[in-house]
Copies of this chain bind each other. A is one copy, B any other.
């Protein structure tokens, strides 16, 4: 399972403040702690705080002063993404393109040029469809375009869009069906990723909903997640699901040794 730590996001007030004041300590701390918690990538998101490419580069460089964990550049703007990719020391992830022609045409070549991975979300001009077929059409388009641009399938992540259980309950089962079908789009399939925390927006039992949904999604083909790696119960659930999926060799201490490499 590929875990993408969600926490360096200026939607959180500590990161907003650190970004505004160019104070590196909180950023470094979040980078180090998420890495220790097992993150395979660290997502870097400036939210609504800044649209300045230099700020993204500052975040990338600040993180890289502390850890060498690969980064997920969370933006859909090429002018922000490109300098950030150039600043990355190890192969990054672009988070994200939609299925719109213009975005695909701008961002897929960037991914190929920088040997980056890229997340394609199943969303188009009209927004993100809620049904299975709509998600699959966008997934197929992203997959086809990625091939045309010469992106290695192992560098492609499809994100079929998690929607809040509280407000759109029927979406969760659609999403599970979509994951199952996207995992059959090719052999080997692209990675399939989700922003897990969306699932529990405004719900009371956030952690329980997130971890339950995450392992259910793993059972049908999800192999990547943007999530809160500080949620110990979530990480334990993922560790157990990996044992169940026969990824890693079971031993009675699997929780203690999980991601301690």
Contact = CB atoms under 8 A, between A and B. Distances in A.
Nearest to A241: B212
A185 interface: no
Nearest to A179: B219
Nearest to A220: B219
A87 interface: no
A62 interface: no
A84 to B, nearest CB: 35
Contact of A166 (B176, B212, B245, B252): B252
A243 B204 contact: no
Interface string A230-254: 0000001100110111100110111
Contacts of A217: 219
Interface in A140-179: 165-166, 169-170, 172-173, 176
A213 B203 CA distance: 24
Give this chain's copy count: 2
Nearest to A253: B204
Contacts of A203: 252
A67 interface: no
Contact of A246 (B172, B204, B209, B245): B172
A250 B166 contact: yes
A255 interface: yes
Contact of A245 (B172, B218, B240, B243): B172
A209 B240 contact: yes
Contacts of A165: 243-244, 250
Interface residues of A, number: 34
A191 B250 CA distance: 30
Interface string A204-226: 11001100110111111000000
Given A205-B240, A219-B219, A219-B220, A249 B212 contact: no
Contacts of A246: 169-170, 172-173
Given A176-B219, A176-B245, A205-B255, 6 more contacts: A169-B249, A176-B244, A203-B252, A208-B240, A208-B255, A209-B244
25 contacts: A165-B250, A169-B243, A169-B250, A172-B245, A172-B246, A173-B245, A173-B246, A176-B244, A176-B245, A204-B253, A205-B254, A208-B236, A209-B240, A209-B243, A209-B244, A212-B240, A212-B241, A212-B244, A213-B240, A213-B244, A215-B216, A216-B218, A216-B241, A216-B244, A217-B219
